Each structure stands twice: as C-alpha cells, then as structure tokens.
Amino acid sequence: MIYTHKHPALLIMGIIMLSLGVLADFSLMDSVIKYLHIQKYFGEIVSLSYFFGGIAVVVGLWHLFAEHKIGHLDYYLSSVAGATFILFIAMIVRWFIAPLVAVWSKSLGPIMGAKYLHEVLGLNYIVLGILTGIIVVNFFKVPAWAENGVRLSRLGLKTGVVLLGTLYSLAELQQLGSLSILMVGFFVLGSVGLVLWMASRRKISNSMGGVLSAGMGVCGVSATVAAAPVVQAKSVEIAYTIGTILLWGVGCMFLFPIVGNILDLGYVQFGAWAGTGILNSAQVAGAALAYQPDGIETLKVAEIFNITRVLVLPIIVVWLAVWYVKREEDAPDVNVAKVAFQKFPIFVLGFLLMFALSSTGIFSPAHHYKGKYFDNNIPAEKLLTADAVATLKTELDKVQVAAQKESLNRLIENKKVMSIEDDDNLRGLVNAKILSQKANHILKQAHKSVRHTAKKIKKFRQFITWLFAFGLVGLGMQITFASIKQAGGQPLVIGGVVGTLKAVLSLIVVLLFVRETI
Amino acid sequence: MSEEEKPKFLRGSALSLFKTDRHEDWIALVLSILIALGVYFLVD
C-alpha cells in the first residue's frame, strides 16, 4: 500500500504558514496582533511559521512530484501532511481563535470576581482545539491525505507528558504545609480509588475508568492527558473526561462562593475547600477570587492546595499504570512486577526521570514551581529609588493589616522584598486597592524584581503547550458523534457522584479541622 | 467494532503510526530527551 497522496494540500498549507510568518515578521499584521492582544505570541508566530512552513513546502513538493514506492520513506513522510494539517489548525486556534474568544469575553466584563466568561467556561486553546477537531471530523471529515498523519497525535501527547515532569520539583512538595498534603493526599487518592471502584461496579471499561479517575482525582486537563496513554484511553474517553471536569468546575465556581458565604467560612477555610473540591486550576482561582475579590489570602491558600494536588500526579500515574496492567491481564494472581516490566508504559518512566532531573535543580533553582521562583539577590539598579521609598512612606498609615504593614516597612527599610511571605503580603495589599496607583505600581515593580522565571522551564512550557495543542486537536479529529453516543452517560454520572462526595466531605473536614492559619 | 477501531491502515493501529504502544513510548521518550538536551545546552 502506498500512503502518500499526490495532493497539493500540504504545499498550500506550507505557503500559507510561510506567508503568516512574513506578515508578522514585516509588521504587516500589527493591527491584528494589537486587537487580539497576542504580542506575547509574536516570537512563535514568526519562528514556528517559518520552520514548519518551510518543512511543509519541501515535503509538499516531494509529495506532488516524486515517484512513491512502498516502504518506510513513503509511510513516514506521508504522515507529514496530516501532522501539518493538525498543527495548522492548532496554530489558528492558539494564535487567533482563542484570543478572539477572549476579546469578546472581556468585552462583557468580569462575571466571577476578576474572572471573565471564557475563563469561567475554560474556553482556552486546549478546549477550543479539541472542539475544532470534533467539528472537522463530524462536519467535514478528515481528508484522505491527512488520515495517516492524524495518527501521530498520541505521540505528541506522550512526548508532552514526559516533558511535563520538568515543571515540578520535589522541593516544592516539601515546602507545602502538612495540612494541605494530608487533606489533598486523602481526597485525591480517595477520589481516584472511588472512581475506579464505581467504574468496575458499573461495568465501564478500564480505560474510561482510569482516565476519569485521574481527571476527577488530580486536576483537570493535564492529569487526564497524562493518564490517558497509561490506560490506553480512547479519544472519546479523554474528551468525555475533560468535558465532565470542566462542566463540574463551572458549577462549582458559582456554588462554592455562595455556600462559603452562607456558612461564613474564613479565607483560609474557603481556600482549602476550593483547592480540594474544584478540579480545574483556573476555576479554583476563579472561585477564590470571587470569594475574596479585594485580597489575596483565599487565592494563596487555594493555590497551595492546588499545587499539592498537581504534585500528586506522578504517584497517580504510576498507580494507574500498575492497576491497568493488572486489570487487563485479568488474572488475580498476576505477577505484578513481571507484568509491569513487560507492559509498563516507558514514557511514564520518562516523566519520572524529568521530574527527578527537575528536582535536582539543573533546569531551574530546585525550589521552583512551574519555573517560577523567588530570589532577592538583585542588582542595585533594581532596588527601590529614594523617590519610590518616599512615596511608600507617605502612604504607610493607610495600611491597617499588621502583617502587610510590617512587610511594607521591611520593603522601605531594605529597598527590596525580603521574603516570599512579604511578597505575598504586598500582593494582597495591591489587590486590596488601598494605596494610590503610584504606590501600587511601585509594589508591583518590587514584586517583579524578586520573582523570576527560569528560561529553560519557560522553553519547556512552550514545547509542552505545542505538543498538547497538537495532540488534542488530533484527538478531537478521532471523536465522532457515533463514538460519543457509544460511550453513553455513565462517565458523567460517576464524575458527578464522586465530585459531589469530594466537595461535601472536604467541606466537612474543613469545618472540623481548618482554622485561620496553616 | 466502533468507528475508531476499524482497520484503515496496513501498518500501526487506528490510533498510532507505530507498530506497538511500546514502540511509540520509546519514540516519545527519545524525542523528549532530545528536546531536553536541546533546551539544556541551547537555552541560557
């Protein structure tokens, strides 16, 4: 069988990509970039368009004009057309459609705390990418010339999952409070176990149960994507899980603040509850900000719980890998060690390897989280100026909260932020909008001076973003309406039951054990 | 048999270009190690 199609599509996509690169590079689409607020993507629009456009043109010419024979060259190079098709859609979604949705959403104004509609609904490039893939396959059909390459999407996801390990570090886990570790550990492991148990009782496939357990237990899309290849989940099962999580999260974002207000929860209590009970990171932040729009204490606590939950991911991935192998072997006395050696997904070891490497600090200081870290060894030119110090001194009396006042005093005294705690207190002060615009600007600059992003981790994030975008658009292209119908409504029921149980039980634990300090 | 399980290709599977899942895992691992090495040595 010859896989290469003599079709001009790849060449045309290549030319369009190159044109996009030229338009951006020579400032011919500045007005579009400005309107969509995509200045941050400028570098990748130029470099990725040139790089992949160039490849697409060269291989496209080969597809059209070369003689093709059965063999590896034909088989693998024919996949470039489909891979470029997916990538092209991912580019359009990430650079234009998702920002356009954000612009429209922002024009409506914030609806939850400081969060906009698209943030509440989770309409980012990931979700929009999957939706676009679903639309393509169901309304237009994947073209024959692209079919072979669409099968590369799972490779993209797996590679992204391995690199995901670079974003976390063991040191970060050690710094977290013991309460968050205990509470999150209990609820994450409990949710995963409960979903797996319910899935087996309701005769749902191991792959569906496995991927849903990771999504409901850990947090949203990353966990779902990481667990999917481990349990060999089908495209529709992954989409189902992501849909369940997002729907659940939207409901929680509105309900949690209402319940919190009725029960008169403290900021720490609400942050702990939201960080445990809501699944998606953005939605956790949304609920926390909705509960405390004029401060950062709730958000900070919710973030701590959220980070703890994400850091449990490596444990869950290994657990699911062993669980799945054992279940699929269908033998109660299976030799787990032997089977695990034979069938354990190698890329999971890669994820753990990257996590271990990241923990040693070779990519960024070891205490980083997702590449961000605190370091106040800054050059003299980044210290506060005499004028800035004078401005802050005149506004000192406006600050009523003792911790914030102490942090501000230390900032004035040392001309730089002295600790992570001080930085958090000063962020809270800015958020409270007590000081003048000028003073807030000074505080923001002081914050920026001591918060750093590791360049290597930033680059890893870019790779992960694109590998996930590529993988998920391709995944969307494998989801037909027929397959959604075939999956049935059981996963939604299980997700709803487990999510509700987790929210209610974690609220009880918070009410019983959480005080206003951690 | 669901639509996504129909054999459309003589090589690989409906979801993957590669012979086996383990084969695909190895490729993913090698690719990510290459990316990691690139980032480690080239990004300052």
Question: How confident is the model over A34-81, as pLDDT tens digits?
Answer: 999 999 999 999 999 999 999 999 999 999 999 999 889 999 999 999
CB contact residues (below 8 A), chain B span 5-24, against chain A: 8-18, 21-22, 24
* Alpha-carbon span A379 to A381, nearest angstrom: 6
Check whether A506 has a pLDDT greater than 60.
yes
**Two tokens, residue A380:** 């003299």
Q: What is the structure's pLDDT at B2?
A: 45
Mean pLDDT of A230-257: 81
Q: Is A428 exposed, middle or buried (0-12, 13-18, 19+ CB in 10 A)?
A: buried
The string of DSSP codes covering A400-412 is --HHHHHHHHHHH
3-state helix, strand, coil in chain A (%, to 5): 75, 0, 20
User: What is the rounded distance in angstroms from the CA atom of residue A215 to the CA atom of residue A218?
Assistant: 6
Q: Which residue of B has its CA nearest to A233?
A: B15
Under DSSP, is residue A112 helix (H, G, I), strand (E, B) or coil? strand
pLDDT at A330: 62
pLDDT band at A246 (very low <50, low <70, confident <90, very high): confident
Please say whether the beta carbons of A407 and A421 come within 8 A. yes
Out of A203-207, A344-348, A461-465, pick the least confident: A344-348
Q: Strands (DSSP E) along B1-44, which ranges? A: none
Per residue in A138-182, pLDDT (tens digit) is: 899 899 999 999 999 889 988 988 888 887 777 766 666 677 778
Whether pLDDT at A12 is above 60: yes
Q: How far is CA A432 from the centre of its chain?
A: 28
Confidence bin at A487 (pLDDT 50/70/90): low
Could you give the CA distance from residue B21 to residue B25 in angstroms, rounded to a whole number? 6
Write down the pLDDT at residue B8: 64
Tokens 């060259």 locate to A73
Question: In angstroms, rounded to a whole number, what is the distance separating the alpha carbons of residues A51 and A14?
Answer: 10
Instruction: For residue A33, name the pLDDT band (cuts at 50, 70, 90).
Output: very high
Out of A57-61, A226-230, A281-285, B14-18, least confident range: A281-285
Task: Flag if A162 and B29 touch (Cβ within 8 Å).
Answer: yes
Between CA B12 and CA B39, with CA A82 as vertex, the angle to 5 degrees is 90
Contact A468, A225 (CB under 8 A): yes
Give the pLDDT confidence score for residue A113 in this predicted structure: 65
pLDDT in tens, A259-272: 888 888 888 889 88
Q: State residue B5's pLDDT score.
A: 47
DSSP result, A425-464 = HHHHHHHHT-S-HHHHHHHHHHHHHHEEE-HHHHHHHHHH
Q: Inter-chain contact B31–A159, Cβ cutoff 8 Å? A: yes
- Three-state DSSP at A372 gives strand
B31 touches chain A (CB under 8 A): yes
Residue closest to A221 by CA, chosen among A191, A202, A204, A245: A245
Pairing of strands A451-453, A372-374: antiparallel
> pLDDT grade, residue A6 (50/70/90)?
very high
What are A382-434's pLDDT values in tens digits? 899 999 999 999 988 888 888 888 999 999 999 999 988 888 888 888 877 78
Q: What is the dihedral of CA A351, A306, A309, A261, to 10 degrees?
A: -160
Interface probe for B, chosen from A343, A347, A364, A463 (most Cβ of B below 10 Å), is A347
pLDDT of B4 higher than 50: no
A1, A234, A347 ranked by CB distance to B28: nearest: A347
Residue A343, number of CB atoms within 10 A of its CB: 16
pLDDT at B34 over 80: yes
Residues of B in contact with A363 (CB under 8 A): 39-40
Which residues neighbour A467 within 8 Å (Cβ) at sequence distance 6 or greater? A156, A157, A159, A160, A163
**What is the distance between the alpha carbons of residues A269 and A420, in angstroms, rounded to a whole number?**
21
Optimal mutation site among B16, B25, B27, B30, interface A, most CBs of chain A within 10 A: B25
Q: CB A456 to CB B40 under 8 A?
A: yes
* pLDDT-above-70 percentage for chain A: 91
On whether the CB atoms of residues A273 and A510 are closer than 8 A, the answer is: yes
Pair A203, A217: CB distance under 8 Å: no
Is A333 a residue whose pLDDT tops 60? no
